[in-house]
Amino acid sequence: MRADGRETFQLRPIHIETNYLKHPEGSVLITVGDTKVICNASIEDRVPPFMRGSGKGWITAEYSMLPRATEQRNIRESSKGKVTGRTMEIQRLIGRALRAVVDLEQIGEKTVWIDCDVIQADGGTRTASITGAFVAMSLALNSLYETKAIKKFPITDFLAATSVGILQEIGVVLDLNYAEDSSAQVDMNVVMTGKGEFVELQGTGEEATFSVQELQQLLEAAQKGIKELFDIQKQALGDISLKIEGNVNENK
Amino acid sequence: MRADGRETFQLRPIHIETNYLKHPEGSVLITVGDTKVICNASIEDRVPPFMRGSGKGWITAEYSMLPRATEQRNIRESSKGKVTGRTMEIQRLIGRALRAVVDLEQIGEKTVWIDCDVIQADGGTRTASITGAFVAMSLALNSLYETKAIKKFPITDFLAATSVGILQEIGVVLDLNYAEDSSAQVDMNVVMTGKGEFVELQGTGEEATFSVQELQQLLEAAQKGIKELFDIQKQALGDISLKIEGNVNENK
Amino acid sequence: MRADGRETFQLRPIHIETNYLKHPEGSVLITVGDTKVICNASIEDRVPPFMRGSGKGWITAEYSMLPRATEQRNIRESSKGKVTGRTMEIQRLIGRALRAVVDLEQIGEKTVWIDCDVIQADGGTRTASITGAFVAMSLALNSLYETKAIKKFPITDFLAATSVGILQEIGVVLDLNYAEDSSAQVDMNVVMTGKGEFVELQGTGEEATFSVQELQQLLEAAQKGIKELFDIQKQALGDISLKIEGNVNENK
Amino acid sequence: MRADGRETFQLRPIHIETNYLKHPEGSVLITVGDTKVICNASIEDRVPPFMRGSGKGWITAEYSMLPRATEQRNIRESSKGKVTGRTMEIQRLIGRALRAVVDLEQIGEKTVWIDCDVIQADGGTRTASITGAFVAMSLALNSLYETKAIKKFPITDFLAATSVGILQEIGVVLDLNYAEDSSAQVDMNVVMTGKGEFVELQGTGEEATFSVQELQQLLEAAQKGIKELFDIQKQALGDISLKIEGNVNENK
Amino acid sequence: MRADGRETFQLRPIHIETNYLKHPEGSVLITVGDTKVICNASIEDRVPPFMRGSGKGWITAEYSMLPRATEQRNIRESSKGKVTGRTMEIQRLIGRALRAVVDLEQIGEKTVWIDCDVIQADGGTRTASITGAFVAMSLALNSLYETKAIKKFPITDFLAATSVGILQEIGVVLDLNYAEDSSAQVDMNVVMTGKGEFVELQGTGEEATFSVQELQQLLEAAQKGIKELFDIQKQALGDISLKIEGNVNENK
Amino acid sequence: MRADGRETFQLRPIHIETNYLKHPEGSVLITVGDTKVICNASIEDRVPPFMRGSGKGWITAEYSMLPRATEQRNIRESSKGKVTGRTMEIQRLIGRALRAVVDLEQIGEKTVWIDCDVIQADGGTRTASITGAFVAMSLALNSLYETKAIKKFPITDFLAATSVGILQEIGVVLDLNYAEDSSAQVDMNVVMTGKGEFVELQGTGEEATFSVQELQQLLEAAQKGIKELFDIQKQALGDISLKIEGNVNENK
């Protein structure tokens, strides 16, 4: 049993509140235990320079934390005048992951801006961001589709993410909170599609390593957790999830 | 009557939710119509260099908006690598205002960091920030007082802020929303204490001016609104407001 | 009597030298006691992006101090790589104030750049900047008018600024020098037009407050001082002041 | 067969030149096909602030490319005034990987700075950097050990890295060059220890995904390649490799 | 004859006004034709980190231009957030030149900050800065000496600078104004001591070259001009120049 | 005799390896004693804004050092977020020098980017950069000429650079290494053309001065050294040097 009473392969309580803020085309508050992230999706009618003339769209993400999302107050990146390496890594990860399940040709030369703002952090902020951002993006692209700004619903599959890790005394666990994450020997973020394929796999041993057998167990835990996340996303998306399932079946 | 149905001297619906986030010493979500600001207060056990050795504390504020708090997405200041003039002006205003009602000697060489993060903007974000930050700061300083980290409750009076302005067709109005603010000829932010004194008065005619008579009316509207804000703050603060009132009476 | 021998409502000796430097379209050295500011106005044949296509002009200001304008040497903002909040606040104030007395449609898609460079500081640098910048701007716009680059003289009224404040032992005083400003309980900057209307009113109690009665007195002192400033501006502008008066009468 | 004539599981020609530059404590030029990276290791007699007083050492890495290491010239990060997200991600990866095979307590409060400067790029620069940096670091730590600045040789195992990926027409391949990398559906970087354990696993499908079976094949290819890299490292390190093997045996 | 009527080897009218501003320890306005530079010298009671513990002082310079010192308005370096290469080159030159005639051991661990702010530019701003800064520095160091903060007057010789160049139609000329400088084939800045030795010699052919014979003529012109500058400096310094001459004689 | 056994007027061993890297249009590794610089020339098909529409080309240079090119590791300029004054000075010098021997009209609206990256530093890096960059630029412009992208070979003369200086105990010496440079009283960089004319002359006495006689000797040493550098450049350039000589003869 883990310190917070969970089983090794048990997620924390998760909730996704849709239409959280009024201005964004898609807006979600995702709660994963004590981790809370506002995920907003905005549509911009142009693409970055390297995509111009391609006829294809683009999806890009930004990630930030409130200074007091954490136990100790952090200095704002705007005050420091630069974005940390950690933030950049997470932003690139979120954008890349979402692009794997969108048919960019269908959305034309538009950019979907994803903003993930962590208002309270207790571990797993990057995977919560991906799971929530997928819902916010689905809402925004659905509004494009419903207003006939795009012809075909462009999301090709579900997408969710979780973290797994190895704790010295317990072994492999699913969905680490901050205390667990800080003491884990191995930390792995897994992003998967509804079809059960990997989009991203980032396993790291900080001053430690992991074997092929341990990798096997980590992936099993992740697969179990991500399946549960898909159910929560479907509930949040309601009818929109049918359009995604339609696309999945069509591509089989 | 105003576009949203309010009387000229009527505030929007206002709500203050205390203990909004779990990490900060004081945390508040203030809602003023569609404007929503998370106000967090953090205690740091040291003061900035220019205050060291003074035996006195310091209060400083930071202000930011989520990129999609607004109708159009704004570029993050961390991405731009610099804080705009508008942000700096607001940060300086919030800090200065709060310092006017705190006995800095009582808190010793500690800094109270105020973070005002606007998650949804519809006008009046700086005055909502001040009104909410006062409550967050009170919670944080009260916890210092209750844990006997400081000997005397250091807040000397209530503090709240609102905006007033002049609309071409209506005249003087209280608590402008974004649409009103954009078309106002004169815009004035007023910060007042429970005793009815001014802490800050910032009146601006953008390509317009105002007379002494208009100033009179603007101040009346502000006074009425701020009195109502004090009631909402007292409700949110519960027993803590008695400690503030105690200090007010003592200083008479 | 004040430390420098002045009456409470007495300005320091003020002088405005026109055509101070040879390159700018308008150039002024304004001296207010020991405060000396070079105010230059430059005409650029385009407007910032947000104004393009509007057919209207723009007025923007920059403010800076020589490192040794002050008692202690300050680090250059160019060395720090960023502009302080104080500088941004002042720059925005100067630009906003000047725009209130110019008919931007008359100047077409041109920008008037105002540069206020403080070479010696002894309090009141922002109000001296506004008072001097008005004259520099008038010279520059007059040269546009005289060369028939614009059809109508575009300045609609006079504009000047001063500071007032409350000193513990003396009460309300006009035009504070640095020593007075440092010890003042309340500090207020007032920008007014020739017609006697307010353009900006910025009153601040740093760790103090002020009552409605005190506000009344502060405004009286400011009005008296600003009237005297108008006389000094008119003397400096010579015949150009007649064109401004013509516009004032026309708009009555 | 691949475009450059290699088998699917075949590395490019690899060479490690030790003592490449004269100033660094450890210096290596690693050549992987047409990719060339100078890896320098420098010893500094202090640790970053967050490690002070811990009695332990630290290893940190920086990565850069000459502007014309690539087919098209890139703007220098020093000219841009900021480091890109890609660079930060790579720097963090290199440092983290190296720390997994060093007993930081043995080196005391010293920092090993790793500088990987790509002078010619043809794919796989981050994995070449890790493989070369391990050798440079070994040389630097060996000189500390030989001069008795540290008591025990602190490297606990070998470490090398390679990339694997999935090409549309060929399937899983080892050690992708730039042309292959640009068209790969899946790209994975694998860092392993001499014992055959994983230190880092970063698999990414850019607008694509991969199955559990494909993951299996990717890891096999990576394991084969990394074994060959260990032989090349041992040849480059000569007798120093015996000290590493001694530590490996001791920890069994 | 030159466009402004001067002989080829004739300086422009030069004037040095001492004690120009009230705060700096040494303050000068130098006028060289239409070029005007405020040169201030400030004393700081510590040295930069690389000099600490040396017992010696340091002299460092900063250089800037008002945005409208020039025919066309320039963007402020503080707005750009960085200092240009040209500014850095000039700052380093001024500091290096002044250090050549000061006995840094005599001033102890103090820094002399030289600020050269060009308020009007018409060519030769860097040489005017050096010539004026020498006087400002002499005033500041003399006040240290007169208040017995240092025991020996530390300036060992006079120092002045001018520019020379080659104009296509006229040949070698002394003290180029902006129009001449823009069209010159060769441009040379020369800094010399009272003894007639070189401190700096920076000759540049922009898309042109110069022969040994031409170098000879350029140096002759410079020597003539600098001798005249010494007379103007001596007049400005009054009795202080006797202390410098005393040191020159002592070192013979 | 000098510390490294050289005569006073003797260069260090010098070698220029052409076609050092595969991507750049011109690429050279120049070795001057222990100083090693990679000089790359890249052709870009446009010119900076200030040259557009002129029909002429541009040549610009960037200079950098590996952090561990030096005895002590230096912080990367990309980490610092800004380029030092020294780097800017060198970059400007290299670009200016090369432009003196190229007929910019012949190359049309193209930019030649010169990148000088010092991988090992032992004094004289800026002069080695110029000498090597001339060869890299010649290779790049020759490839433009051979592919008929330009009609006339545009290099009008040879160009090389060396340093000379005055050592306390030895007097004037040629081609200073780092140890000599650090202790030299006078340091001079000389850039000359094949015709024997000066392009740049930068002599500096750091806390010292030099006489007209010493200048004479310094120039003699430089002329001798640069003649030898021309021979090494010609050998490296092979037949391309004949095209340069052809242009030299044509312009006589």
- What is the structure's pLDDT at E82? 80
- Would F24 be classed as within a structural domain? yes
- Which of A:13-32 have CB within 8 Å of D? none
- How many Å apart are CA E186 and CA E222, to the nearest integer? 14
Tokens of B42: 């953090």
Q: In terms of DSSP bridges, do strands A58-65 and A26-32 run parallel, antiparallel, or are they unpaired?
A: unpaired
Q: Per residue of chain F (252 residues), give pLDDT as tens.
A: 899 999 999 999 999 999 999 999 999 999 999 999 999 999 999 999 999 999 999 999 999 999 999 999 999 988 887 888 899 999 999 999 999 999 999 999 999 999 999 999 999 999 999 999 999 999 999 999 999 999 999 999 999 999 999 999 999 999 999 999 999 999 999 999 999 999 999 999 877 899 999 999 999 999 999 999 999 999 999 999 999 999 999 987
Chain E nearest-CA distance from F143, in A, is 23
Tokens of A211: 């074997």
- How many Å apart are CA D17 and CA D26, to the nearest integer? 11
Contact A195 D208 (CB under 8 A): no
- What is the structure's pLDDT at C143? 97
Contact E53, E64 (CB under 8 A): no
Contact D197 A215 (CB under 8 A): no
- Would E221 be classed as within a structural domain? yes
- How many Å apart are CA C161 and CA C178, to the nearest integer? 17
Chain F residue with CA closest to E220: the answer is F212
Residues forming a β-bridge with A228: none
Chain C nearest-CA distance from B98, in A, is 9
Among F34, F81, F87, beta carbon nearest to D81: F81
Determine contact: C207 vs chain B, CB below 8 A. yes
- Which of F:47-66 have CB within 8 Å of D? 62, 64, 66
- What is the structure's pLDDT at C6? 97
Supply the DSSP symbol for E51: G
Which of D77, D84, D96, D198 should be substituted to probe chain A, the one whose Cβ sees the most A Cβ atoms within 10 Å? D198
Report the number of distinct structural domains present in chain F.
1
- What is the structure's pLDDT at C77? 87
User: What are the residue ranges in chain B where pLDDT is below 70?
Assistant: none
Chain E nearest-CA distance from F22, in A, is 30
Q: In terms of DSSP bridges, do strands E111-120 and E58-65 run parallel, antiparallel, or are they unpaired?
A: parallel
Longest dimension (CA), chain C: 55
Q: Per residue of chain A (252 residues), give pLDDT as tens.
A: 899 999 999 999 999 999 999 999 999 999 999 999 999 999 999 999 999 999 999 999 999 999 999 999 999 988 887 888 899 999 999 999 999 999 999 999 999 999 999 999 999 999 999 999 999 999 999 999 999 999 999 999 999 999 999 999 999 999 999 999 999 999 999 999 999 999 999 999 877 899 999 999 999 999 999 999 999 999 999 999 999 999 999 987
* Cβ atoms < 10 Å from Cβ of D3: 11
- What is the structure's pLDDT at B154? 97
In this complex, which chains have at least 3 CB pairs below 8 Å with chain F? D, E
Spatial neighbors of D89 by CB under 8 A, at least 6 apart, are: A85, A88, A89, A92
In this complex, which chains have at least 3 CB pairs below 8 Å with chain C? B, E
- What is the structure's pLDDT at E41? 98
Determine contact: E77 vs chain C, CB below 8 A. yes
Encoded amino acid at F126, one letter: R
Helical residues (DSSP H) of D16-151, grouped into ranges: 77-80, 85-99, 125-146
Helical residues (DSSP H) of D7-84, grouped into ranges: 77-80
Contact A69 B44 (CB under 8 A): no
- What is the structure's pLDDT at E81? 78
- How many Å apart are CA A65 and CA A116, to the nearest integer? 8
- What is the structure's pLDDT at B242? 97
- Would A172 be classed as within a structural domain? yes
- Would B56 be classed as within a structural domain? yes
**Dihedral sign, Cα of residue C43, residue C44, residue C48, residue C51:** positive
Residue keyed to tokens 């030029």? D29
User: In E, which residues are within 8 Å of F196 by CB distance?
Assistant: 211-212
Residue keyed to tokens 């953090």? B42
Going by pLDDT thresholds of 50, 70 and 90, the confidence category of residue C5 is very high
- How many Å apart are CA D96 and CA B46, to the nearest integer? 33
- Would C8 be classed as within a structural domain? no
Per-residue pLDDT tens for E58-82?
Answer: 999 999 999 999 999 999 988 887 8
Going by pLDDT thresholds of 50, 70 and 90, the confidence category of residue E110 is very high
- Which of E164, E145, E170, E168 minimizes the C-alpha distance to E155? E145
Give the CA angle between residues F58, F63, F67 to the nearest 5°.
160
CATH number at residue A133: 3.30.230.70
Count Cα neighbours of E196 within 13 Å in the Cβ-side half-sphere: 8
- Would F91 be classed as within a structural domain? yes
- What is the structure's pLDDT at B52? 93
Chain D nearest-CA distance from A119, in A, is 23
Supply the DSSP symbol for E83: -
Among F22, F38, F78, beta carbon nearest to D66: F38
C208: left (phi over 0), alpha (psi -120 to 50) or beta: beta
- What is the structure's pLDDT at E252? 77
In this complex, which chains have at least 3 CB pairs below 8 Å with chain E? C, F
Binding site feature residues of D: 86, 124-126
- Would C6 be classed as within a structural domain? no
User: In C, which residues are within 8 Å of B103 by CB distance?
Assistant: none
Among C38, C68, C120, beta carbon nearest to E66: C38
Chain A residue with CA closest to D215: the answer is A198
Residue E229 above 80 pLDDT?
yes
Q: At what angle do helices E240-250 and E212-237 cross, to 10 degrees?
A: 130
Tokens of A49: 């320079």
C125 is in an annotated binding site: yes
Which of B56, B82, B207 should be substituted to probe chain C, the one whose Cβ sees the most C Cβ atoms within 10 Å? B207
Q: Where are the beta strands (DSSP E) in chain F?
A: 14-18, 26-32, 35-44, 58-65, 111-120, 159-167, 171-174, 186-193, 198-205
Rg (Cα) of chain F, in Å, rounded? 18
Per-residue pLDDT tens for C162-186?
Answer: 999 999 999 999 999 999 999 999 9
What is the domain extent for residue E40? 14-251
Determine contact: A67 vs chain B, CB below 8 A. yes
- Which of D77, D76, D84, D69 minimizes the C-alpha distance to D121? D69
**How long, in residues, is chain E?**
252
C126 is in an annotated binding site: yes
- What is the structure's pLDDT at D208? 85
- How many Å apart are CA C175 and CA A237, to the nearest integer? 63
Q: ipTM for the complex? A: 0.94
- Would F6 be classed as within a structural domain? no
- Which of A:128-167 have CB within 8 Å of B? none
Contact D66 F27 (CB under 8 A): no
DSSP string, chain A: --TTS--TT-PPPEEEEES-SSSSSEEEEEEETTEEEEEEEEEESS--GGGTTSS--EEEEEEEE-TTSSSSPPPPHHHHTS--HHHHHHHHHHHHHHHTTB-TTTT-S-EEEEEEEEEE-SS-HHHHHHHHHHHHHHHHHHHHHHTTSSSS--B-S-EEEEEEEEETTTEEEES--HHHHHH-SEEEEEEEETTS-EEEEEEEETT--B-HHHHHHHHHHHHHHHHHHHHHHHHHHTTHHHHHHHHHHHH-
- What is the structure's pLDDT at A163? 98
B124 is in an annotated binding site: yes
Determine contact: A85 vs chain B, CB below 8 A. no
Per-residue pLDDT tens for E38-63?
Answer: 999 999 999 999 999 999 999 999 99
User: In B, which residues are within 8 Å of A34 by CB distance?
Assistant: 22
Among B22, B71, B117, beta carbon nearest to A66: B117
- Which of C102, C16, C18, C88 minimizes the C-alpha distance to C59? C102
- Which of B78, F80, B118, E81 minimizes the C-alpha distance to A77? B78
